[in-house]
Structure 1
Amino acid sequence: MIDLGKHNVLGIEVNAIDYDAAVDRVIAAGKQRKSMAVTALAVHGVMTGVSDQEHRYRLNQFDLVCPDGQPVRWALNWLHGCELSDRVYGPNLTLHLCQAAADSDVSVFLFGGTDEMLREFSRTLGDRFPGLHIAGIRASEFRTLSPSECDALAEQINDSGAGICFVGLGCPRQEVFAYEMRNKIEMPMVAVGAAFAFHAGMLSQAPNWMQRHGLEWLYRLVCEPRRLWKRYLTTNPAFLFRLGCQRLGLLHRQVDQGRQPKTTIRFG
């Protein structure tokens, strides 16, 4: 079990942690019904914080920021000598947490995606983890919620009796949701991005060899070129350039806390 605390990656505090330690922390908080904001960031997630001061502030308030992408793990190893042997990939973290939740009698709530996606995701989890109790599901409205709708959603999740809430709204909406709801929802909120679509069978994952070599972005680019070309062909080079500058001491010498958001955004 590895948990080396938070380390500066381009001004974002990322936990140098493995699956076992991440699961242990989330399950412990889930048993206590203790609020906790958790995410797993790949390059795009990190760079969203780099380019947006308010979002950088949100990310640096999270309790646990896992290194989802291989390049983020490599950055921790290269910059800070963490010697992590594996990343903490959101879709796999979801499965690890569901197994631990089933073993610990901690129920889960699924929030995000469409009704169809949630039905398939729930079925997959039920088949794979017979002891897992899914306390509730709620599809996204794909819009900004009113204050009263936001309160009603928090009440629904809390009243379900769940100990963990998985959030699948996509980056950065899911991180905004977890940040804004951290004082309303009384359990860990785990932002896991495409895990819902992957495990529902609606989106294919890159082959293992591509994942191991940090080429998952290329697989997704080939699958969705029109949607993702700008993200990967501009964001990835910018990440590498800034990483080199941080290593040379030219940029991101300290964690940049960013700017506290002035307005509340209620994605749901």
Structure 2
Amino acid sequence: MLTSDDQQAALEKPPILNLFGIDFLNLNLADAADMVVSRACKNLSTRIFFVNAHCINVAAKDKTYYKTLREAEMLFSDGVGMAIAAKFWGKKFQDNVNGTDLFPLICKQAAEHGTPIALLGAKPGHATTCAEKMVSQYPGLRIVWTHHGYYPKEKLDRLIEGINNSGAKILFIAKGVPLQENWITENKSKLSVPVILGVGALFDFYSGATPRAPLILRKIKLEWLFRFLLEPKRMFKRYITGNPAFLFRAIKLRLLNKGLNE
């Protein structure tokens, strides 16, 4: 809830931090959740993406994805890699505004405001289980529509119709990078939902299908290592080769004083 004039001003004109030629909202988690739900209640068309080191590596090779990020209404910095890169430029993010930590704060706000939510993505059953757990945790929360991410292309129009008929004001899409960002951009005009977020593996975590790193590892910025140890084959390229590539790219661009893809 908004509690001060300063907080209200931050939501109306939030501070921006430019990194890699991309404008990020520089908010803490609580203010970010306030802003998401506020825009939903006001029916303001908003695409929200979370950008981590892996996303920057993808954007460096995929100009369409890079363009999609730059055109989004709200971007948040996610992870220790982005915080380190910001330091190279003498900048600092207020918080690690990742989708996994932001989700329960949005659910809490949505429950208080009666803002309906929809979930699309992940394996069959994950979105539904995630919804059940969050509704149990936040009385009054309305998750009005869920569906997994494995559907034939010919079913897309029916899915969009279902989302629109649900009356949802916030839609979470869990398809992974860059599929979810591309999906949101391609289908935004067909959807009546004002606020749409791309949230990666979020439903897997909150359904209990994939364990999240213990709090102590998150506090010392080693959640990425926990994920790698859980799925070494799938995460090897992202973390073991991807993290050094990201840091090299960040240092190089800082020395050249350039943005990504310039």
What is the TM-score normalised by the length of structure 2? 0.87
Partner residue of 1:162? 168
Deviation at 1:138, TM superposition (A): 1.4
Partner residue of 1:231? 238
Partner residue of 1:7? 18
Partner residue of 2:248? 241
Report if aligned partners of 1:35, 1:183 keep a CA contact under 8 Å in 2. Answer: no
| 1:177 maps onto 2:183 in alignment | yes
Distance 1:239 1:140 in 2: 29
Partner residue of 1:263? none
Distance 2:221 2:141 in 1: 32
Q: Secondary structure at the match of 2:221?
A: coil
Partner residue of 1:260? none
Of the three residues 49, 66, 74, the one matched with 2:84 is: 74
Deviation at 1:60, TM superposition (A): 1.1
Distance 1:6 1:174 in 2: 24
Which is helix-richer, 1 or 2?
2
The 3 A distance-change label for structure 1 pair 39 and 180 is same
Q: Where does 1:196-211 land on structure 2 (aligned, <5 Å)?
A: 196-211=203-218
Deviation at 1:164, TM superposition (A): 0.3
Report if aligned partners of 1:7, 1:14 keep a CA contact under 8 Å in 2. Answer: yes
Q: Where does 1:1-268 land on structure 2 (aligned, <5 Å)?
A: 1=7, 3-9=14-20, 11-84=21-94, 86-141=95-150, 145-146=153-154, 149-186=155-192, 187-248=194-255, 250=256, 253-254=258-259, 256=261
Q: Secondary structure at the match of 1:167?
A: strand
The 3 A distance-change label for structure 1 pair 6 and 83 is closer
Report if aligned partners of 1:7, 1:80 keep a CA contact under 8 Å in 2. Answer: no
State how many pairs are aligned.
250
Deviations 1:220-264 (A, max 9, x none): 11111111112212110011011112222x26x14658xxxxxxx
Distance 1:78 1:16 in 2: 17
Distance 1:63 1:199 in 2: 26
Q: Secondary structure at the match of 2:106?
A: helix
What stretches of structure 1 of length at least 5 have no aligned partner?
258-268
Distance 2:104 2:65 in 1: 27
For 1:75, the aligned partner's letter is A
Deviation at 1:129, TM superposition (A): 0.6
Q: Secondary structure at the match of 1:131?
A: coil
What is the TM-score normalised by the length of structure 1? 0.85
Distance 2:216 2:247 in 1: 21
